[in-house]
Homo-oligomer: A and B are copies of this chain.
Amino acid sequence: MRDVAVLGVGLNSKWGELWEMSLRDIFVEAALNALDDAGVDRVDSIVVGCMTSGLFVGQEHLGSLMSDYLGMNPAAATRVESACASGGAAFRQGFLEVASGAADIVLVGGVEKMTDVGGDEATYALSAASDMEYEAYHGITFPGLYALIARAHMHRFGTTREQLAHVAVKNHRHGARNPAAQYPYEITVEDVLASVMVADPLRVLDCSPITDGAAAAVLCPVETARKLSKKPVVKVLASAQASSTIALHSRKDLTWFESTAEAAQKAYRMAGKRPEDIDVAEVHDCFTIAEIVVLEALGLVERGKGGQAAESGMTALGGKIPVNTSGGLKSKGHPVGATGVAQVVEIARQLRGESGARQVEGARVGLTQNMGGTGGSSVVHIFETV
């Protein structure tokens, strides 16, 4: 297996409600930014992460569409889907293309255009990440599912309502330093606690938003990156993915994401790293409770202590292990298919020391964790400057 590097990264300039841009426009802007950052204008292969462009805008066949609009034909181009982990799964496929030797320069992009439909339709589209026949058709959608996880965690570990709020407050504090973020402003614990109830105990400021956005990364062999780039070379130390039951009701333990724990174990093994080696992490905070459980499953925080980690500042900029310096899904936004690739964008910039006001000083090893549904799938990547 060849060693793989991240040669360039990019987002479209601003995430949010982009009514003046179509799915293809958003993707192409992010991809061109990544190609510019990489300093290449041709790729052998394209992998597009997208959850449900079919339900959001009636368009499938995104590999062909994006290769066409980027002017990259006849490159191989494929779309990869794993619900909200589509971006992470796409990045893994791009990694395999380069690692296997099938391609030398690969563009991985993630995209979602979510605001062309109304709220009911968006809720239906996102429900397609759950077990539609056994969950959504019976009336439970994602805020309800994550509320069940939150209540179970509060009951078992004594996690407080305020600790949930601290996750959102921290991520908004980070996101206020990210100009591309959808909601780049700070909020307080009081704001969260006073916000509209969505699914008890989760309020609207516990939930990531509906977002239009795209992210892209260019991958190549490490040796190629050393030749082409004057920036620090960001090596992909590990790429790992795992699955768990798609339905929450099939789990043995509501307070644990088995797919994240499995993917993390594989990734640490492949990277030769331990949780304490990680300097900065981007994780899947689709709801505040998700970040709490994820950090425990990654071994970055002790079991049951995820809430305390947010409250104590341990996971904030300046803390022991800064998490979601980009603002996370909560503040930066969550265009579902783009999220996993955007995590890589943030980590690559952190490891290259380009994160400005939100830079983690001396960061050398970074981790991304991207998750589909209530953890039916998880993808973990580990990176290091070499």
Chain A residues with CB under 8 Å of chain B are 1, 22, 45-46, 51-52, 54-55, 57-65, 67-68, 72-83, 89, 92-93, 96-97, 99-102, 124-125, 127-133, 136, 239-247, 250, 258-259, 262, 372-373, 376-377
Contacts and interface: CB of A to CB of B under 8 A. Distances in A.
B61 A82 contact: yes
Given A63-B372, A73-B259, A99-B100, 11 more contacts: A54-B55, A54-B128, A61-B246, A64-B83, A64-B373, A68-B243, A73-B258, A76-B243, A78-B82, A93-B96, A100-B101
Contacts of A83: 60-61, 64
Contacts of A125: 54
Contacts of A128: 54, 58-61
A245 B57 CA distance: 19
A98 B103 CA distance: 15
A262 B74 CA distance: 7
B89 A96 contact: no
A289 to B, nearest CB: 20
A73 B132 contact: no
A130 B64 CA distance: 10
B100 A372 contact: no
Contacts of A101: 1, 99-100
Contacts of A64: 82-83, 243-246, 259, 372-373, 376-377
Nearest to A377: B64
B377 A59 contact: no
A65 B246 contact: yes
A284 B60 CA distance: 19
A54 B52 contact: yes
A72 to B, nearest CB: 7
8 contacts: A45-B241, A58-B132, A61-B129, A63-B377, A65-B246, A73-B244, A77-B82, A77-B241
Given A241-B78, A376-B65, A133 B60 contact: no
Interface centre among A67, A83, A242, A246 (most CB of B within 10 A): A246
Given A54-B54, A100-B99, A74 B242 contact: yes
A333 to B, nearest CB: 20
Contacts of A372: 61, 63-64
Contact of A243 (B72, B81, B373): B72
A96 B75 CA distance: 16
Interface centre among A45, A80, A93 (most CB of B within 10 A): A80
A230 B372 CA distance: 39
A87 to B, nearest CB: 12
Contacts of A59: 128, 132-133
Given A125-B54, A129-B60, A75 B242 contact: yes
A233 to B, nearest CB: 20
A121 to B, nearest CB: 11
B76 A63 contact: no
A78 B80 contact: yes
Nearest to A67: B243
Contact of A97 (B73, B96, B250): B96
